[in-house]
Amino acid sequence: MGVETIKVPDVGSSDPVDVIEVSVKVGDTVAAEETILVLESDKASIEVPAPLAGTVKQLLVKVGDRVKEGDPLMEVAASGDDASPAEETTAPAEPPPQPAATEAPAAPAASADSEEREQVVPVPDLGDIDGAELIEFSVAEGDTVAAEDVLAVLESDKASLEIPAPAAGTVTALLAKVGDKLGSGDALLRLSVSATGGDETSSTQKPAASETASPAPASQPDRSAKAAEQAAPEPARVEAGSPPAQQQPTSATVHAGPAVRKLARELGVDLAGVTGSGVKGRIVKDDVHAHVKQRLAQGGGATAGTGLPTLPDIDFSRFGEVERIELNKLRKVSAANLHRSWVTVPHVTQHDDADITDLEAFRQTQNQRLKADGHKLTMLAFLTKACAVALQAFPHFNSSLENTGEALIQKHYINIGVAVDTPNGLVVPVVRDADRKGIIEIADEISALAQKARDRKLSPGDMQGGTFSISSLGGIGGTAFTPIVNWPEVAILGVSRSSMQPVWDGDSFQPRLMLPLSLSYDHRVIDGADAARFITFLSETLQDMRRALL
Ligand code: CAO
């Protein structure tokens, strides 16, 4: 072994590419496969790995140079070798570098005299995302698309990505299917592109659905339910490639190679807030370091992206013995969702007491009758029905606020989530179409869902599509609490333990069974007066359930 000259690998094009980052300097020790340099073409960024462990002897290029396949990049002396006479080898080393996002080789032209050429549209650079599920093809074979039309939608744990058409053309073949797990560079579809540029304005396709959303506590993405209730814990929906001029960049859309993304991840830096100094505004490692220095210099840092004060790590062992208990996935997901809701939804909680004396008497009588058939009418079932009736009377409690803040999505279905306490944590299965179900049916369903929850057998679908939630702590105790709105819903009812109270009837105090209700709501959507009206309506309905029949 001696000194190896690292050369520009096959970059999938004969055009020169830019050296946008030299990740090492002379004298650095590098491990095999460590990124030593990043190249960028119009369509891809390519990390060049060290073919062997060794020491950088000489840099033969600098940032800004343009190079072609085979051009020498740098000399590296193999570990344990003293770099004597240079011994050129044929780079690239094994394994060849993976283009992060490049155009797959064009298929042969459709015909010799055709004006059309076919190209395979690949999955673009997914950055730090390992793989993403193809959840939607927005086009079919034979469709005509304009440049930038959405072709497909991918979804990972972190984000949804719309894949735009690189040029106007006609879709000639779909090369993947919905449900496939795809990585950067995998073939999506074949596009026949007009050699003269094509008509970039005509299109038969509409972009994909405009919103995604994170699941309610502990739920998983599901396309059918997504149409109704959607969310994304991280950047909601990001378009692959460069964002349009007015669009705010997100960490997923900024120009940065995988090595820079890795560094940013390690340092907890949101790349969306970093100014790139590289070619075309590309972020290089020095930019990330400079960003961190600047934030430190500013002092009193903030949690990236949220504007919230950073919480310092505390070494509790200084004060006594401690144990670190890793949270299970359910608790982590619930915590993230609850936190997001708490910081984004301006909460107000309205309290009231409902007189359920007659209702409880009715419930007890009916339960004696129903017991033989295996039914148990619970107060929660009556509450669910009463809420469904109240939601019909106050429809904007059954809506979601569009993320733009410009519109409400009014739902014409009433699905009520019921918080269930399980040994693993909180889950919220959903009673669908509660307005159309009888109270016995609702009671049976809640009982079955609660059992499924405790047996950890709920499916993601069981927890999706809720439009309003109830959190009942009545079986446990307490007089009032402030439940957290289960975003994207806009209100939630908390129920505490009923108790006998002396109630003044105008002449004397009467013993009445009073049920404490706590209605938390999103003040962006619901005014305080409406919340008072809603909870009063609910109280009156519980006081006399015959109102539910009206
Ligand atoms: N006042 C007085 N007693 C009540 C009551 C109330 N508001 N609600 C229920 N009870 C009584 C019931 O009548 C039942 O007694 P009986 O067996 O004698 O009839 C007993 O308390 C137990 O009820 P339960 O809790 O088993 O049934 P439920 O229908 O009230 O609730 C469920 C079911 C799944 C909601 C409940 O078990 C549960 O998990 N609650 C916790 C929800 C939670 O954690 N919320 C917090 C979310 S935010 O962190």
pLDDT tens digits for 141-167? 898 988 878 898 887 765 667 788 888
Mutual angle of helices 285-298 and 258-267, in 10-degree steps: 20
Do 152 and 113 touch, CB atoms closer than 8 A? Answer: no
What Å distances lie between residue 327 and 182, 351, 420, CA to CA? Answer: 30, 33, 18
38 and 11, same domain (yes or no): yes
462 and 512, same domain (yes or no): yes
Atom 32 of ligand 1, nearest CA residue: 420
Query: How many domains would you assign to the chain?
Result: 4
- Choose one of 78, 95, 126: the last residue of a domain: 78
Q: What is the pLDDT of residues 372-414, one digit of tens each?
A: 999 999 999 999 999 999 999 999 999 999 999 999 999 999 9
CATH number at residue 301: 4.10.320.10
Q: Which of 347, 351, 396, 523 is catalytic?
A: 523
Rounded to the nearest angstrom, the distance between the alpha carbon of 170 and the centre of ligand 1 is 59
Q: What's the pTM value of the predicted model, to 2 decimals?
A: 0.54
Which span out of 61-70, 144-153, 159-168, 212-221 was modeled with the highest average pLDDT?
Answer: 61-70
Tell me if 132 is assigned to some domain: yes
125 or 437, which is more confident: 437
Q: Which atom of ligand 1 is nearest to the CA of 516?
A: 7
417 and 532, same domain (yes or no): yes
Rounded to the nearest angstrom, the distance between the alpha carbon of 511 and the centre of ligand 1 is 23
Please choose from 360, 472, 514 the residue to mutate so as to test ligand 1's pocket, defined by most ligand atoms within 8 A of CB: 472
Rounded to the nearest angstrom, the distance between the alpha carbon of 355 and the centre of ligand 1 is 18
Rounded to the nearest angstrom, the distance between the alpha carbon of 139 and the centre of ligand 1 is 49
Tell me if 242 is assigned to some domain: no
Rounded CA-CA distance 100/47 in Å is 8
Share of the chain above pLDDT 70, in %: 77
What pLDDT does residue 517 have?
Answer: 98
259 or 27, which is more confident: 27
What pLDDT does residue 265 have?
Answer: 73
Domain that holds residue 188: 114-228
390 and 448, same domain (yes or no): yes
Tell me if 495 is assigned to some domain: yes
Confidence of residue 127 (pLDDT cuts 50, 70, 90): low
Atom 7 of ligand 1, nearest CA residue: 474
Confidence of residue 284 (pLDDT cuts 50, 70, 90): confident
Confidence of residue 521 (pLDDT cuts 50, 70, 90): very high
Q: Which atom of ligand 1 is nearest to the CA of 376?
A: 19
32 and 144, same domain (yes or no): no
Q: Which atom of ligand 1 is nearest to the CA of 498?
A: 1
Rounded CA-CA distance 133/170 in Å is 24
Atom 44 of ligand 1, nearest CA residue: 421
Rounded to the nearest angstrom, the distance between the alpha carbon of 378 and the centre of ligand 1 is 8
What Å distances lie between residue 132 and 221, 390, 502, CA to CA? Answer: 12, 41, 60
- Choose one of 53, 78, 103: the last residue of a domain: 78
Confidence of residue 116 (pLDDT cuts 50, 70, 90): confident
Atom 19 of ligand 1, nearest CA residue: 378
385 or 205, which is more confident: 385
Tell me if 420 is assigned to some domain: yes
Confidence of residue 59 (pLDDT cuts 50, 70, 90): very high
pLDDT at 230 over 50: no
CATH number at residue 462: 3.30.559.10
What mean pLDDT is predicted for residues 265-285? Answer: 77
440 and 502, same domain (yes or no): yes
With a CB cutoff of 8 Å and minimum separation 6, the contacts of 463 are 215, 216, 217, 218, 219, 417, 427, 428, 429, 430
Q: How far apart are the first and last CA of the chain?
A: 90
429 and 403, same domain (yes or no): yes
What pLDDT does residue 435 have?
Answer: 97
pLDDT at 209 over 50: no
46 and 134, same domain (yes or no): no
pLDDT at 97 over 60: no
Q: Which atom of ligand 1 is nearest to the CA of 426?
A: 44
226 or 307, which is more confident: 307
391 and 462, same domain (yes or no): yes
Confidence of residue 118 (pLDDT cuts 50, 70, 90): confident
Rounded CA-CA distance 30/51 in Å is 10
Q: Provide the total of helices (H) and of strands (E) in the chain, helices listed first.
A: 8, 28
pLDDT at 347 over 90: yes
Q: Which atom of ligand 1 is nearest to the CA of 422?
A: 39
Rounded to the nearest angstrom, the distance between the alpha carbon of 413 and the centre of ligand 1 is 26
Atom 36 of ligand 1, nearest CA residue: 420
pLDDT at 93 over 60: no
62 and 120, same domain (yes or no): no
pLDDT at 203 over 70: no
pLDDT at 300 over 80: no
Do 216 and 463 touch, CB atoms closer than 8 A? Answer: yes
Got the DSSP string for 492-547?
Answer: EEEE---EEEEEE-SSSEEEEEEEEEEEEEETTTS-HHHHHHHHHHHHHHHH-GGG
pLDDT at 447 over 90: yes
259 and 394, same domain (yes or no): no
Peptide bond into 243 cis (omega under 30): no
Share of the chain above pLDDT 90, in %: 46
Average the pLDDT over each of 25-34, 284-293, 469-478 and give the range with the smallest value: 284-293
What pLDDT does residue 197 have?
Answer: 41
Which residue reads 């894949």 in tokens? 163
Rounded CA-CA distance 278/542 in Å is 65
Q: How many other CB atoms sit within 10 Å of the CB of residue 63?
A: 16
Atom 41 of ligand 1, nearest CA residue: 421
Q: Which atom of ligand 1 is nearest to the CA of 449?
A: 34
Q: Which atom of ligand 1 is nearest to the CA of 495?
A: 7
pLDDT at 233 over 70: no
Q: What are the φ/ψ torsions at residue 530 (nearest 5 degrees)?
A: -65, -35
What pLDDT does residue 298 have?
Answer: 56
93 or 550, which is more confident: 550
CATH number at residue 216: 2.40.50.100
Q: What is the pLDDT of residues 473-514, one digit of tens each?
A: 999 999 999 999 999 999 999 999 999 999 999 999 999 999
336 and 377, same domain (yes or no): no
Tell me if 25 is assigned to some domain: yes
Tell me if 215 is assigned to some domain: yes
Rounded to the nearest angstrom, the distance between the alpha carbon of 330 and the centre of ligand 1 is 21
Confidence of residue 470 (pLDDT cuts 50, 70, 90): very high
Q: Is 523 a catalytic residue?
A: yes
What pLDDT does residue 227 have?
Answer: 34
pLDDT at 361 over 70: yes
Please choose from 338, 380, 416, 500 the residue to mutate so as to test ligand 1's pocket, defined by most ligand atoms within 8 A of CB: 380
Q: Any residues with Cβ below 6 Å from ligand 1, and which?
A: 378-380, 418-421, 426, 450, 471-475, 483, 495, 497-498, 515
Spacing of C-alpha 56 from chain mean position? 41
pLDDT at 194 over 60: yes
| Angle ∠(518,524,529) on CA atoms, nearest 5 | 55
Which span out of 61-75, 309-323, 480-494 was modeled with the highest average pLDDT?
Answer: 480-494
Tell me if 89 is assigned to some domain: no
Tell me if 468 is assigned to some domain: yes
What mean pLDDT is predicted for residues 106-126? Answer: 62
Rounded to the nearest angstrom, the distance between the alpha carbon of 227 and the centre of ligand 1 is 32
Among residues 495, 536, 486, 548, the alpha carbon closest in space to that of 362 is found at 548
Atom 38 of ligand 1, nearest CA residue: 420
6: its two tokens: 């690292």
Please choose from 355, 360, 379 the residue to mutate so as to test ligand 1's pocket, defined by most ligand atoms within 8 A of CB: 379
Rounded CA-CA distance 283/275 in Å is 7
Q: Which atom of ligand 1 is nearest to the CA of 484?
A: 48
Mean pLDDT (the chain) is: 80
Rounded to the nearest angstrom, the distance between the alpha carbon of 486 and the centre of ligand 1 is 19
Rounded to the nearest angstrom, the distance between the alpha carbon of 504 and the centre of ligand 1 is 28
- Choose one of 78, 100, 131: the last residue of a domain: 78
Atom 22 of ligand 1, nearest CA residue: 475
What pLDDT does residue 40 have?
Answer: 78
